[in-house]
Amino acid sequence: MNSLVLMFMRSLSEVVEGRSQFKRVIIVTGTPGVGKTTVSKQLAARLNGLHIDLGELVKREKLTSGYDRKRQTLIADMDRLAHRLRQIINREKRTLIIDGHYATAVVPKNQVERVFVLRRDPRQLKQLLEKRGFTKAKLKENVAAEILDIVLYEATTSIPLEKVCEIDATGKTVRDTVKDVLSVYHGHQRCNVGVVDWIEELEEEGMLDEYLKSDSKR
Ligand SMILES: Nc1ncnc2c1ncn2[C@@H]1O[C@H](COP(=O)(O)OP(=O)(O)OP(=O)(O)O)[C@@H](O)[C@H]1O
Ligand SMILES: [Mg+2]
């Protein structure tokens, strides 16, 4: 009898321990410059979580496989990064907020609770990236990626659709964007995709060609 009770107690403690080790992984993704890091830092503070900026992690731990001269940026070694993230996720007890435009490709899919894809009107994004001093080519590439929903497409093809939520940050303050994300996260607002259609908006304004055509055709 005593040994049966002991066995029961053991398995119960394993369940409890397992539960306490259950951690939440939230991805914040979107085109470069859309506001991922700014929003993720505040989310981490609000959720008592740990913010991981993939770009920073790659640089800090030299998880690179080379340098992209054209884009003037380090190339992340996706396999090593995915391996490192698995380690961090397994060890960390807090909620993780993982921020990066390629996050959905490297975070273990079964661990992801929610993916927030931040969106921003390409006209605003362009201004923001200009201020950051992006080269013309890099600027065009990123603005086109936003128009063509590239990051959203990547998210919805790697993570189950019901976990992917788009948040339009256009014209909003950082505070309001964080509020929107938290509202969806806590289930007070619906998690939707398809909330923006930049192609239609730019076409209506007669600006789509200008934003998408390559410089060589000018
Ligand atoms: N509603 C908003 N949400 C988020 N950021 C905003 C918002 N409005 C303005 N910003 C500003 O936009 C900038 C976004 O920069 P941030 O570094 O967070 O972007 P990012 O997506 O992390 O870029 P990268 O991909 O290069 O790391 C910040 O200067 C931030 O203050
Ligand atoms: Mg960032």
**Mean pLDDT over the full length of the chain:** 91
Q: Indicate the angle between helix axes 174-185 and 36-47, nearest 10 degrees.
A: 60
Residue 214 has pLDDT above 90, yes or no: no
Determine the pLDDT at residue 1: 56
* Nearest ligand to the CA atom of 33: 1
CB-CB contact of 36 with 101 (8 Å): yes
Q: Whose CA is nearest to atom 3 of ligand 1?
A: 174
- Annotate 15-36 with DSSP letters as a single string: HHHHHHT---EEEEE-STTSSH
Tens digits of per-residue pLDDT, 31-54? Answer: 999 999 999 999 999 999 999 999
- The model's confidence at residue 14, banded by pLDDT at 50, 70 and 90, is very low
Determine the pLDDT at residue 174: 97
Is any atom of ligand 1 closer than 6 Å to the C-beta of 177? yes
Structure tokens at 19: 């539960």
Q: What SS3 state is found at 148?
A: coil
Is any atom of ligand 1 closer than 6 Å to the C-beta of 119? no
CB-CB contact of 135 with 186 (8 Å): no
Distance (Å, whole) CA 218 – CA 131: 24
Q: What SS3 state is found at 167?
A: strand
CB neighbour list of residue 177: distance below 8 Å, 6 or more residues apart = 35, 39, 118, 167, 169
Of ligand 1's atoms, which has the minimum distance to the CA of residue 100?
A: 25
Residue 9 has pLDDT above 80, yes or no: no
Distance (Å, whole) CA 32 – CA 21: 32
Structure tokens at 215: 């410089």
Average the pLDDT over 119-125 and give the result. Answer: 97
CB neighbour list of residue 29: distance below 8 Å, 6 or more residues apart = 36, 99, 100, 101, 102, 103, 104, 115, 116, 117, 118, 151, 155
Determine the pLDDT at residue 22: 57
pTM for this entry: 0.90
Please state, in angstroms and as integers, the Cα–Cα distance from residue 3 to each residue in 9, 15, 16, 182, following that order: 10, 18, 20, 47
Determine the pLDDT at residue 188: 98
Is any atom of ligand 1 closer than 6 Å to the C-beta of 15? no
Higher pLDDT, 30 or 20: 30
- The model's confidence at residue 216, banded by pLDDT at 50, 70 and 90, is low
Q: Indicate the angle between helix axes 122-131 and 136-147, nearest 10 degrees.
A: 160
Mutate to test the pocket of ligand 1, among 27, 29, 34 (most ligand atoms within 8 A of CB): 34
* Nearest ligand to the CA atom of 31: 1
Tens digits of per-residue pLDDT, 77-110? Answer: 999 999 999 999 999 999 999 999 999 999 999 9
Is any atom of ligand 1 closer than 6 Å to the C-beta of 170? no
Average the pLDDT over 16-37 and give the result. Answer: 80
Partners of 29 in the β-ladder = 117
CB neighbour list of residue 162: distance below 8 Å, 6 or more residues apart = 191
* Dist. CA 78 → ligand 1 center (Å): 24
Structure tokens at 156: 């919805």
Average the pLDDT over 51-79 and give the result. Answer: 95
